[in-house]
Structure 1
C-alpha cells in the first residue's frame, strides 16, 4: 500500500473532525446562540453521564471475553507510560518557562493527559471505513477498533480523574492559601484569620491529636479511640484524593461492560441476535452512537473561548505543542516497538496502531472542566486548547499515516 493511500486514509477522519468542530463553533457564536455556554454545559452533562458510559459499556460487552482480556493487558501499562513521560516532560517545561504557580497544574496535566477517549473513538472508525485502510474488513475493524478505543477511554478516565484532577486541585489550593495568608498579613485582626486551635490541656505538642497515654484508660476506650483515629485518617485521605472522581460514569460503564463480557451467563443473555435481553444492549449501542458527534460539536463551541486570548506566554504554548506532538510520539514509537519486539504486544496491527496513537493525541478536554471547577487558569486553558487542537489536524494526519505504515 502506497504512502499516498495511507495519507488519504489518515486525513479523512481529521477532516471530518474539523468540519464538525467548525459547525460547533458556528452554533456557539453569539449571533446564532444555539450552542451557547449554558447549552454546552447541559449537553456536556448528558454526554458525560449518558452517552459516554453507554458507548464504553456496549462496546466492551460486545467484544471482550476472558480470552481477549489476556491479550490486552499491555494497554493499561501503555497509558500509564504516556502519563509518566508526559509528566516528566511537563515538569521540565515548567522549570524552563518558569510558569506561574496557578498554571503549573494546567501545564503538567496538558502534557501528561491526552484525549484517550473521544479522539480515538472518532479517528479509528473513520479510518476503518476508508478503502485504503490497512486494517482489513470495515465492519470487523470498526467493531474491534471501537472496543480498543473504549478500553482506552476507560483507563484514561481513571488516570485523568485520579492523577491530573488532584494536580490541578493542589495547584489551585496553593494559590488560595497564598491569598489567604496575604489577607491575614494585611489585616491581622480579621475575623477570618483565626489562629489554629491549640491542643487540649494535658496534651504535648507532639501529641497534637490528643492521643492519651494508656494509663487510666480502659481497653474499651482505647479501642474506641483507635477506631476514631482510623476514621479521621480515612477522612483526611478522602480529602486529599477525591475517591468519588475515580468512579466516573465512563469508568462505571467500563466495569459493567467488562462484567457482561467476561461472565458467560450475562453475555449469553444480552449479546447476540438470540439473546433474550438483547434490547438492553441495542439501546445502549444507540445511545453510544450519539456520543461522538455530540462531543465534537461541544469541542468546537469550547474552542471559541481561546479566540479571546489571555496573558499566557507563547513559549509555554510552543512547549506544550512540542511535548504532545513531537517528543511524546517519538518516544512512543520506541516504547511500543520495544514492547512488540519482546512479545508484550500481540500481532494485531489495529491494536498496535491504537497504542501508538495514544502518544500523539491533543490534551484531554476534561482538563478544561477541572480548571472551571477550581477557578485556576480557565482562560489560559482555552488558549492552550485552541492552538493544540488547531494544530492536531496536521499532527494527527502525519502521525497516523506514519503509524499505519509502521504496523501495516
Structure 2
C-alpha cells in the first residue's frame, strides 16, 4: 500500500468525526437550540450512566480474554508515559508563556490528558470499516480493535480522574491561596503595617524547622496527595461497565452464559450492545455542541494556544513513535501492526473533554479551556489524519 492509500484510510474517519461534530455545533446555535445546555446535560447523563457502561461491558465481554489481557499489558504503561510526558511539556509551556495562575491547571491538563475516551472509539472502528484498511477485513480487524479501544478508554479514564485531577486540584488550591494572601496584604497594608512586619518575622523564624520535621511534613503531604484522589470518580459507571466486561470476558463459564447465539442470557448482551451502539453519535454531537462555547470567548494568548497545539500534535506524537518502536525492539510489544498503531495513536489526540469538566469543578479557566478545545480540535482535523497516515506507514 502506498502513502496516499494510507492517507485516505486515515482521513475518512476524521472527516466523519468532523461532520458529526459540525452537526452538533449547528444544532447548539441559538437559532436552532436543539442541543442547548439542558439537552446537552441530559444527553451527557444518558451517555455517562447508561450508554457508555453498556458499550464497555458488551465490547469487553465479547472481545477480551485472559490471553488478550496478557498480550496488552504494555498499553496501560504506554498511556501513563504519554500522560507523564505531556504534563512535563505542559510545565515547560507555562514557564515559557507565563499564563495567569488560574490558567496553569488548564494548560497542564490539556497537555497531559488526551481524548482517549471518545476519539479511539470513533476512529478505530471507522478505520477497520474502510475497504482498503491495512489491518484486514472488518470482522477480523474489529475483534482486536474493540479490545484495544475498551482498554484504552478505561485506563485513560482512571489516569484522568487521578493523575490529572490531582494536578489541577493542587494548582487551583494554590491559586486560591495566592488570591487570599493578596487580599490579606491589601487589607492590612493600610492599618496594620507594623503587625504585618512582626508576623512576617515570626514566620521566617518559624520556617527554620529541623530536618526531621521537614521529612514529617513531606510524608504528610504525600499522604494528603494520595487521599486527594477522587475514588468516587475512579469508580464511574463506565469503569464499572469495564470491570463487568472484563470479569465476563476472562471467565469462560460466564462468557458462555452471556455471549453467543446459544448463550442462555444472550438477551442481556443484546440489550447492552444496542444501548452501547448509541454512544458514538451522542458523544460526537455533544462534542461539537460543546465547541460552540469556544467561539464565544476571546482574549486568550495566541502563544499559549499555539504552545498547546505544538505539545499535543508535534512533540507527543514524535515521542510516541520513539517509545513504541523502542518497546517493540525490546520485546515488550508484540508484532501485530494494529496494536502498535493504536499505541502510537494514543500520543496523537487532542485534549480530553474531561479537562473541561475538571476546570468547571474547580471554577478555574472554564472559558479559556473552551477556546483551547476549539482550536486544538480544528487543528486535529489535519494533525490526526497526518499522524494516523504516518503511523500506518511505519507499522505495515
What's the TM-score, normalizing by structure 2?
0.89
Corresponding residue number in structure 2 for 1:315: 303
Provide the residue aligned with 2:14 in structure 1.
14
* Alignment check: 8 A CA contact 2:84 2:112 kept: yes
Give 1:134's aligned residue.
134
Find out whether 1:47 has 2:35 as its counterpart: no
Which of residues 229, 241, 245 in structure 1 aligns to 2:233? Answer: 245
Residues matched between the structures, number? 366
| Distance verdict in 2 for CA 1:180–1:164, change over 3 Å | same
Task: Return the offset for 1:103.
Answer: 1.0
Of the structure 1 ranges 72-81 and 169-178, higher mean CA displacement relative to structure 2 is found in: 169-178
Secondary structure of the structure 2 residue equivalent to 1:117: coil
Question: Which residue number corresponds to residue 226 of structure 1?
Answer: none
Structure 1 position 233, deviation (Å): 11
Q: Secondary structure at the match of 1:303?
A: helix
Q: What is the deviation of 1:239?
A: 5.6
User: Aligned with 2:41: secondary structure?
Assistant: helix
| Contact 1:162–1:241 under 8 Å retained in 2 | yes
- Give 1:339's aligned residue: 327
Gaps of 5+ in 2: 189-205, 207-219
Do the aligned partners of residues 233 and 349 (structure 1) sit closer, same or farther apart at CA in structure 2, a change above 3 Å counting?
Answer: closer
Q: In terms of Rg, which structure is larger?
A: 1
Aligned partners of 1:56 and 1:151 also within 8 Å: no
Shift of 1:176: 2.4
**Could you tell me how far 1:187 is from its partner in structure 2?**
5.3
State the Cα RMSD in Å.
1.9
Q: How does 1:248-263 map to 2 (within 5 A)?
A: 248-263=236-251
Structural mapping, 1:26-37, within 5 Å: 26-37=26-37
Equivalent position of 1:100 in the other structure: 100
Pick aligned residue for 1:306 from 294, 311, 314: 294
Match of residue 260, structure 2, among 268, 272, 280: 272
**Paired residues for 1:137-216 under 5 Å:** 137-185=137-185
Q: For residue 2 of structure 2, what is the aligned residue in structure 1?
A: 2
SS of corresponding position for 1:114: coil
3-state SS of the aligned residue for 1:70?
helix
State the partner residue of 1:220: none
Cα distance in 1 for partners of 2:92, 2:177 equals: 25
Tell me which residue corresponds to 1:327.
315
Per-residue deviation, 1:144: 2.0
Q: Within 2, Cα distance between the matches of 1:4 and 1:233?
A: 53
Q: How far, CA to CA, are the matches of 1:334 and 1:181 in structure 2? A: 45
Q: By how many angstroms is 1:185 displaced?
A: 4.6
TM superposition score normalised by structure 1: 0.86
SS of residue matched to 1:373: helix
Q: Which moved more, 1:70-79 or 1:235-244?
A: 235-244
For structure 1, the 5+ residue unaligned runs are 189-204, 206-231
Residue 133 of structure 2 aligns to a residue whose secondary structure is coil
Shift of 1:183: 4.0
1:362: which partner in 2?
Answer: 350
The one-character-per-residue Cα deviations of 1:16-57 (angstroms, maximum 9, x if unpaired) are 011101100010000101100121111111111211111112
1:110-129 maps to which residues of 2 (within 5 A)? 110-129=110-129
Is contact 2:161–2:229 with CA below 8 Å preserved after alignment? Answer: no
Q: Offset at 1:179?
A: 3.0
